[in-house]
A and B are shown apart, each in its own frame.
Chain A
Amino acid sequence: MVGPIYIIAIALGTAFSLGFFKKANSNFSFAFMLFAMAFMTFISGQWLYAFLTQQQETIQIFTAGFKPPFSISLQMGLHESVFLSLINIIGLLAAIYLYDQLREKGVQMMMIFVLLFMGLNVVIMTRDIFNLFVFLEIASIATAGLIILDKSINATSAGFKYIIATAIISGILLIGIIAIYYFAGSLFINDIIKLNLIYVKGGAVAVFLVLIAIILELKPFPANGWALDVYEAAHPGIGAVISAASASAGIFVLAKILPIVGDPGYYIIGLIGIITFLGSNLLGLKQDKANRLLGYSSIGQIGLLLTIIGLTPYLGDKTLFIAFGVLISHALAKAGLFWLAGIINSEQIKGWAAIRRNPHLLVLMGTFIFALVGFPPFPSFFAKWELIMQLANNDKILWLALILIGSFIEGIYLFRWFGYAIKGENEDLPEFKIQWNKIIPVIVSALGLYAIGYYYSTLTGLAANLNYIPLLFIIFLYAIDFLPVYIKNTISIAGIGYYLYITFPDLEEFRLIFALIFLVGGIIILLAGYAKKGRRSGFYPLVMMMFAGLIGLIEANTTLEFFFAWEIMTIGSYFLIIRGKKSMTHALSYMLFSVGGAYLILAGFGLAHIGQSSYSLDILANVQSYAPIIFTLLAIGFMTKTASIGLHIWLPGAHAEAESDVSPMVSAILLKAGVFGLIVLMLKMGAQSFGSFDIYYALAWIGAITAVMGNMMAAFQEDAKRLLAYSSIGFLGYALFGLALMSHLGWLAAVSLSVVHFMFKTLLFLAIGGVVMRVKTKEMYKMGGLIKKMPFTFISVLMGIIVIAGVPPLTGFGGKWILYNAVLEKGWFLPAGAIFFAGIIAFLYCFRLIHAIFLGQLKDEHREVKEAPFWMLLPQYIILAVIMLFSAIPNSLLKPIGEAIMPYFSEGALEWQGNLAISNFGYWNGELIMYIVGGIFVVVFGWLWFMNRNAQEVKQFNIGYSAERPSLPETTHFAYNFFAPYKKALGFLVSPIISDFWEAVSEGIHAIADKIRRIYDGNAQTYVLHIIAFIVIFYLIAFGGSYGI
């Protein structure tokens, strides 16, 4: 094998000989340099390969033919080779990326570039502390050189700030090193470690100086203004190098000198880390410049890494796994984003809207964003999972909470940015062109993330069972995205169908019920996709991702699998939602509630894992401590998906703005994932209370209030799809209420209502979607009289609202009947009253749907409107058929559900006599009611038909305005503000208190961020003052108490 020393020789030789080619062909010089970078990569790569596959031993390289401490020695071990390979690969890619710049700017820049990487390589390998200093200096001087690549005034002044700051930091480092030499009599790190200098008077200060200088090189908050300016001013290609390669080397150096500091150092590092992680991400919120935003995010990630290193005592042998997972995700994703920034070439993040001119770039950007936030299948996901599990196991709840808060804040600005890219206004943005040399590095790092993510999942014994088959199917759909929609639709339906077929035999109880909702429901809704023309680019991979997540939830046996699936589902649904019109803000709030909810779930799983070695979902049944807290965390987490009151603000917009066949998916199906989560949770954990306070009673109230508010808001909507969206919130409130009753009947009601909700919501969203498609508006008062134009749709809606309203004869009534029985049995009359009230409000909005859209006068502009397309109607009628079946023979639906509930709640079950259901309070015969209602219907219909001949035809426009024209003609329409009197009476209840609350929270945080970031006043002196003050403050923290570093 080629010895590591040749890395130095090759790099230096190349840098020195490049001087010969000053005038020569610049392509040749570039090739020469690239060859050197490739060779360095090769050397580190072959060592990595040897360490991974051939039980290679760690080797020491002595220079000058003497052993340390007399000479400088280098070390090559597994960890060194991993970091070297990572850094050199990034270097190689960065060099390719900078092809134009390096060629144009001449050989000096190439020399500087190579030498930067040589410096980083030696920094990693060296075991001599002064040698470390020298090569750190090489790296920072080379960085200072690269910063001024374009010689602009901003770059130069940023470079100046950088040099001043790093010169001060390395001065501090130098003082520390010389003092260490004084106390230790050696510069060899292994010798110094043995001496335990921190127990020597003065030695502790020396060690502290070295430690703090190395940390300062990593740009901790708030002593990092200089670094932010550099990220903003430097060429993105250089920013990538600083953020990915230099930071990785810095982290390694910190790990290398940590043994000198010993255990007390962890505390300082962890403290600085968490401050940096929270502070930097908080300030990132106010940032609207892309490169600077990346800077904040980079520093935040380094803060997270410092935190992880600081937590080593609690993470034990998992530290490396966690830290490296975070680091590699950060390095590749951040480099990728910087490189993309160089292609998009837009200073403002809003300008990134231009990126979607090339959808593949959008995919790449999404890969990086999701990798940064820690979504599956990226290494950061597994690292974050392990981190939370270990922290929980060691009872480090505060750390756990702070880390999740920091990650959440990072998610806010990253997803806002991503939202601009997907949905922002991009009409007037400048064109960009994609050069081969700029895109290759981006693609390689994205592929690297996927590959390492997969490799990482195999490292955790647990994740080996993760089901990647659906994910492969998604990749396949992405690959065939160029095909027309009907082929992809067929393939997708076939895929879901096949999956259902192979998993069906293994499913039982609730899993079976929800699998049927998710998968059969998916197939039915997908049928509507045949109505679309063209390619529907990008749609199918996303749909399948959501379904892959849903399937994963059903199949999950361990908490990890469950969480993995939950996150996959979130990604897919996020993209589906953001595909809608005007959906940027709604998708963002959906994502934030989802991420927040997911973190609560993660924390809950972590706490549940305390004291248990297994990761099976059964640990929930068996939690050792914090049971009510775990229950609350998980319940709130799941309720973000069911959109319970307070957590619902994302839903109306997201569902209303989505495409006509996406609305039913995210409404009828996706919400059930939350219900499924709640069911799993409640089954495993059973009754929970804080002291004497019953959590389920609180849940029942939440459910009841959600039902009332959801329905009331639905009644006051003008937008038909928004109305349906609010009605979903209300309906899920019933379901939550039913579950909270924790009785057979309660659950029977909740589960059957979930199934019913799936059916009528699919029906209504597809029907209304069809109407909206034809009349091109969602405002109901702009419709009217469509009964003659769209009769089939009318029937769907009519049936749908009968179900929704819960009146006989259709199946919605059954659910309500059971629910009231359950309430009577439980005796929670107060919330039950609210539920009952909500049911009445439901009539109001149901009436509007049928009345405003289909009855009354036909609008002039709708005279040519046609019935909805066949493929939209087909799924509706399939569902109608099922509804009729369930209504006529209620036990076909209720019996299987009852059997699923039986093992858990056996008391108070319904007694079935044929179609007659008997409870303790009464009985219900669905079939009989059907006949009776049918009979009444025929009578009334006949009578109306008979009376119809007395009706007098009126011309549509024989009403005048008495020579006046109202300023807003549509407000005079009878359907406008239909329930004005009710609104007057009860409107205060629906004033947007909740939205206002969340808005105020958001604004408050942003205002704080804006205030704090003023400390970065752009002056090099201020930055140096921050550095010195940082040292002094942490010196006082470290030595002030009895702690003594």
Chain B
Amino acid sequence: MVKNSLIFIVLIGFAVLLADLFVGFNGNTDLNTLANHYAVSGPEEVGSANLVTAVVVTYRGLDTLGEVTILFLAAAIVSFLLKVEAGASRNRKLRSTSEILDTASKILVPVIFLFGIYVFINGHLSPGGGFQGGAIIASGLVLMLLAQPAKEVGHKLITLVESISGISFVLIGVAGVLFAAGFLDNKLLSLGKFGTIFSAGVIPVIYIFVGLKVGAELSGIITNLQENQNEA
């Protein structure tokens, strides 16, 4: 009880801190200079209709590279920690799935995959992008694994996709240094016609790799967790 009251007091202190922090906040009525620059010059400089994408992939491309790296790291650690030792006896008691789930998954999974691909290819035009698309692909995988818990997903394929797309992302970045104005420079490819699928320089290309990579990494995490499920 003493401890809980202590926690309570500390939390009140923290709440006061947060209140102090935001006490002057009353919503924005206008964009600040930075955001205004992105909004006004962004379409011209980057050519992406989705300004968030412009910021994520180009202006703050290094963050995105870091983000991808974090997922990569998480996937690597999960797979390291949950690696099933070769030859270890695997006594898994798996729940049987229902007919409905099984059938539905067969129809839905390809559609979900396709939708995921759509989302990351159109990341520069519409809401969405590589991360969202990748997450959708991984959710398709979750459905698949729910329907067929015994299914073994090929780790090799996942790794291959992960590595190739990761390296490609880095290479595009380096190409920006060599052939354009800087690391991850968007103008490596021409900006194209604003608002079309082949526009916004290398953004769609990057987003395709990000989508594949995120999809692969999340799938890796999921399959690793799934393989450790119900282990006796």
Contacts and interface: CB of A to CB of B under 8 A. Distances in A.
A15 interface: yes
Contacts of B17: 205, 209, 1031-1032, 1035
7 contacts: A71-B58, A131-B63, A131-B66, A134-B63, A134-B70, A145-B73, A185-B33
Given A19-B163, A111-B76, A1032 B185 contact: no
A144 B32 CA distance: 38
A65 B180 contact: yes
A1025 B21 contact: no
Interface in B65-110: 65-67, 69-70, 72-74, 76-77, 79-81, 83
B166 A12 contact: yes
B6 A70 contact: no
B73 A138 contact: yes
A61 B187 CA distance: 17
Contacts of B60: 64, 71-72, 128, 130-131
B61 interface: yes
Interface in A181-207: 182, 185-187, 201-202, 205-206
Contact of A61 (B23, B45, B183): B183
Interface stretch (B7-15, B122-130, B133-141, B145-153): B7-15
B145 to A, nearest CB: 22
A1032 B14 contact: yes
B163 A16 contact: yes
Given A9-B174, A201-B24, A112 B76 contact: yes
Given A65-B182, A202-B24, A70 B59 contact: yes
B227 interface: no
A106 B80 CA distance: 8
A72 B63 contact: yes
A655 to B, nearest CB: 54
Task: Give the 10 A-B residue pairs with the shortest CB-CB distance, closest first.
Answer: A65-B181, A16-B166, A185-B32, A1032-B13, A19-B163, A65-B185, A145-B77, A134-B66, A108-B80, A205-B21
Interface of B: 6-7, 10-11, 13-14, 17-18, 20-25, 32-35, 37-38, 45, 58-63, 65-67, 69-70, 72-74, 76-77, 79-81, 83, 156, 159-160, 162-163, 166-167, 170-171, 173-174, 176-177, 180-187
Q: Which of A6, A16, A179, A1029 lies at the interface centre, i.e. has the most chain B CB atoms within 10 A of its CB?
A: A16
A13 B21 CA distance: 41
Nearest to B68: A12
A142 B70 CA distance: 8
A841 to B, nearest CB: 61
Given A5-B177, A65-B185, 8 more contacts: A16-B166, A64-B59, A138-B73, A141-B74, A156-B81, A187-B34, A201-B24, A1029-B10
Contacts of A65: 176, 180-182, 185-187
A3 interface: yes
A581 interface: no
Contacts of B171: 13
Interface in A92-126: 105-106, 108-109, 111-112, 115, 118-119, 122, 126
B162 A19 contact: yes
B20 A202 contact: yes
A1028 B69 contact: no
Contacts of B70: 134, 137-138, 141
A151 B184 CA distance: 37
A66 interface: yes
A24 interface: no
Contacts of A18: 163
Contacts of A106: 80, 83
Contacts of B181: 62, 64-66
A124 to B, nearest CB: 14
A417 interface: no
A9 B163 CA distance: 14
A22 interface: yes
A206 B25 CA distance: 12
A447 interface: no
B58 to A, nearest CB: 5
A19 B80 contact: no
B81 A151 contact: yes
A148 interface: yes
Nearest to B60: A72
A19 B217 CA distance: 12
Given A115-B73, A1032-B10, A64 B182 contact: yes
Q: Which of A12, A185, A1025, A1035 lies at the interface centre, i.e. has the most chain B CB atoms within 10 A of its CB?
A: A12
A19 B59 contact: no
B69 A63 contact: no
Contacts of B66: 122, 131, 134-135, 137-138
Contacts of A448: none
Contacts of B10: 1025, 1028-1029, 1032
Nearest to A1029: B10
B21 A209 contact: yes
B184 to A, nearest CB: 5
B81 A131 contact: no
A20 interface: yes
Q: Which of B74, B77, B181 lies at the interface centre, i.e. has the most chain A CB atoms within 10 A of its CB?
A: B77
